[in-house]
Amino acid sequence: MTSASAFAELHDELRTVARDLLAKGPTPDRRQIADAGWLGLEVADDLDGAGATFAEVAVVLEELGRAVAPVPFLGTAVLGVGTLNLLAPNPLCDALLRRIATGDRTLAVAGIPFRDRDGVPTRHIPVTEPVGFRVERSADGARLHGTAALVVDAPDADRFLLLADDPDGPDAGPVVVVVHGPDEVPDLTVTPQPLLDATRRVGTVTVDGVAVNEAAVWRFAGDPQAAVRTLHDRAALAVALDSLGVSEAMLAATVAYAGHRHQFGRPIGSFQAVKHACADMLVQVSVARRLVTTAVEAVAAGAPDADRAVAMAKSYATQAAVDVVGKALQLHGGIGYTWESGIHVHLKRAALNRSLFGSPRDHRRRLVPRYLAVAPT
Amino acid sequence: VPHWPAEWGGGMSTAEQVVLYQELAAHDAPRLVLAFVGIHHAAATLLAAGTAAQRRRHLPAILDGEIWCQGFSEPDAGSDLAALSTTARKVDGGYVVNGQKVWASGALHSNWCLLLARSDPEAPKRRGISYLLMDMGSPGIDVRPIRQATGESHFCEMFLNDVTIPEANLVGAENAGWQVAQSTLSAERGMTMLELAERLANGFRWLVEECARPRSGTDERPLDDPVVQDRLAVFETELSGLRALCRDVVERVDTGRAGPADASIVKLFYSELLQRMTDFAVDVAGLPTHTVLHKPLSTGWESGAWMLDFIGSWEWTIPGGTSEIQRTIIGERGLGLPREPR
């Protein structure tokens, strides 16, 4: 698998399988998506994974968005595996990765700081806001305190990766504390938070003095701040991909509807007002696709300017999806506003995606420092 | 002419062309304004549909500075170009052309003209048009400049009165001119856009500099306003999307995977982005930009004379198929929506 065409073939196959799995029957469960190889895409070959990259995860993410599938993928495959792959090698971590790939573990990652002191997540300004969790060490051992709201996939997780400050630990920067689910650890509570978007599950994760074994405190292999930014980029790009899928699905549905719905004795798609609105949707989707593709390539390759590409992809694609779905609802007319049409599901998901992991405005603020350095001529 | 085949003096890959255009833009190299139609439209047409003799006659000449214009639009055939009524009457050894053309950029200075004329008045309107190469030195051609909204007179109208064109100057088959024009125009658009997108990206840098200039009489910079910062970030994002889109379209043309509406998507997005950017620049630059009465010579569509650039942006949203026509093409050819009754 070295040539570009071999990659393209692999992606096409992954896409076809995903579309098929998501199109037929009930939503696939954890076992089915593990069997499809999705959870272990970025898990190393020797840990029963596929040894693939974010470029392959991206294919699945776009298809999940296209199907507005209520599949918990972000918490485990994007953030969970993403976090674990950034850690210094450790056998427990490897064991967890192996069980993720086989579908035996579902993860939630909490405490990723998305803003710095000035409210801007950016590579130029170090992430300084305290993360949501804190390790406190005393004579009777280490204990973990803290809370994080709106943690994606938390209600279904059986392992939690909590990014925590460890002020008395050996290194600066957040560490990752792995905690079992509330069934096993009573001091960890997960309070599900219902959302208008019923395709995603989030919850508030609270730990109140959970005893922490040193073996459960894992450290990032490199600079923890850089690791946090990488996680942030993965999270943001994941929802940009989801939004791209949502947009494409809604454009296709609208074009199909405008082609067969007749009024005034003509298909409504033959009227310029409708046709031109669809054309604008295609332009937005085309631009979003290029920005997202560029960002996926940058993230998969670990490019130094990946954060910039992600900021552009996230800010553009998630706003475009809200615009496209809104137009889709409008062009479907009264039927579009019904619960039955299902367009509301896309609208809610697109709008949630726009807010999740940094708003478009937040992401654009990451681009600004480079402008400020410009001197007038 | 990096986009031409190597045997005619070009031969650069898409990636190399991107670098070339970036460098030309970065150094603010003068644009080849008068040569534009020759190196892009004329060359693409001859390479796709011209005879060997036509290519030999004109491609080297274009490299030597032969200037071309386009005789497509007419007073009553604008968006509905196929309704054109200029006639090409078949005579022994050629055609005799009569009619009126309009919006022919640079016609006053041109040596040759790409001409669409009706050779079969009985045929359905798209099937009776022929594509001809007209020597602008021929007797019977009267060219008059039209003053534009910017004050310049780059566009011209052309009156054709019994102009004789030899049969050797027919491109493609007789009455197949519409197909020749369609196939070369859309393929060509990606190439021209590659350069324009890089130019616009360079224009963005000037826009940032404009924002960094203190407002007259104060030390307050627009750049320090978070609203201005956000607009700049929106533009930079859209520009990155445009540049990636252009590269993708050119690569798809090169590998024979071009979509039927690719060129229209790029043209529509470019032209409206140019208009939004220059509009914003006029707002930021404030009153002083209204005192800039002339653009520097041979500059692009983002010269930094922002008010003139803003006015000039309609030269992209109207010619070459208006934004409305582009949306119809995208809807019908790109998305397969039903055609409107016509």
Contacts with B, A 289-318, CB within 8 Å: 290-291, 293-294, 309, 311-312, 315-316
Select from B327, B328, B339 the residue whose CB has the most chain A CBs within 10 Å, as the one to mutate to test that interface. Answer: B327
Q: What is the DSSP string of A100-126?
A: HHTT---EEEE------TTS---SSS-
Does the predicted interface ipTM exceed a cut of 0.95? no
Q: Cα–Cα distance between B310 and B324 in angstroms, integer?
A: 19
Q: Residues A24-79: pLDDT tens digits? A: 778 999 899 999 999 999 999 999 999 999 999 999 999 999 999 999 999 999 99
Q: From A258, which residue of chain B is nearest by alpha-carbon distance?
A: B337
Under 8 Å between Cβ of A160 and A179: yes
For residue A156, give both structure tokens: 């279904």
For residue A347, what are the CA distances in angstroms to A92, A199, A337?
41, 11, 11
Per-position pLDDT tens, chain B of length 342: 888 899 999 888 878 888 888 898 888 888 888 888 999 899 999 999 999 999 999 999 999 999 999 999 999 999 899 999 999 999 999 999 999 999 998 999 999 999 999 999 999 999 999 999 999 999 999 999 999 998 888 889 999 999 999 999 999 999 999 999 987 676 566 678 888 999 999 999 999 999 999 987 888 999 999 999 999 999 999 999 999 999 898 888 778 888 889 989 999 999 999 999 999 999 999 999 999 999 887 778 888 999 999 999 999 999 888 999 999 999 999 999 999 887
According to DSSP, residue A45 is labeled G
Contacts of B213 in chain A (CB under 8 A): 376
Using the Cβ of A260 and the Cβ atoms of chain B, whether some distance falls under 8 Å is answered with no
Q: Cα–Cα distance between A15 and A23 in angstroms, integer?
A: 12
Cβ B241–A375 below 8 Å, yes or no?
Answer: no
Q: Cα–Cα distance between A100 and A106 in angstroms, integer?
A: 7
For residue A309, give both structure tokens: 């590409």
Using the Cβ of A5 and the Cβ atoms of chain B, whether some distance falls under 8 Å is answered with no
Catalytic positions of B are: 188
- In this predicted model, which residue has the larger pLDDT, B25 or A86? A86
Contacts of A293 in chain B (CB under 8 A): 244
Q: Where are the beta strands (DSSP E) in chain A?
A: 107-110, 133-138, 141-152, 159-165, 175-180, 188-193, 202-212, 217-218, 262-263, 266-267
Spatial neighbors of B215 by CB under 8 A, at least 6 apart, are B221, B222, B286
Can you state the percent helix, strand and coil of chain A, rounding each to 5? 50, 15, 30
Using the Cβ of A339 and the Cβ atoms of chain B, whether some distance falls under 8 Å is answered with no
Three state DSSP letters for chain B = CCCCCHHHCCCCCHHHHHHHHHHHHHCCCCCCCCCHHHHHHHHHHHHHHCCHHHHHHHHHHHHCCCCEEEECCECCECCCHHHCCCEEEEECCEEEEEEEECCCCCHHHCCEEEEEEECCCCCCHHHCEEEEEEECCCCCEEEEECCCCCCCCCCEEEEEEEEEEEHHHEECCCCEHHHHHHHHHHHHHHHHHHHHHHHHHHHHHHHHHHHHCCCCCCCCCHHHCHHHHHHHHHHHHHHHHHHHHHHHHHHHHHCCCCCCCHHHHHHHHHHHHHHHHHHHHHHHHCHHHHHCCCCCCCCCCCCCCHHHHHHHCHHHHCCCCCHHHHHHHHHHHHCCCCCCCC
Q: From A251, which residue of chain B is nearest by alpha-carbon distance?
A: B335
Q: Cα–Cα distance between B29 and B96 in angstroms, integer?
A: 41
Q: In this complex, which of B223, B237, B245 lies closest to A312 when CB atoms are compared?
A: B237
- Virtual torsion, Cα B33, B188, A288, B208, nearest 10 deg: -10
Using the Cβ of A365 and the Cβ atoms of chain B, whether some distance falls under 8 Å is answered with yes
Q: For tokens 């970065």, name the residue.
A: B26
Using the Cβ of B330 and the Cβ atoms of chain A, whether some distance falls under 8 Å is answered with yes
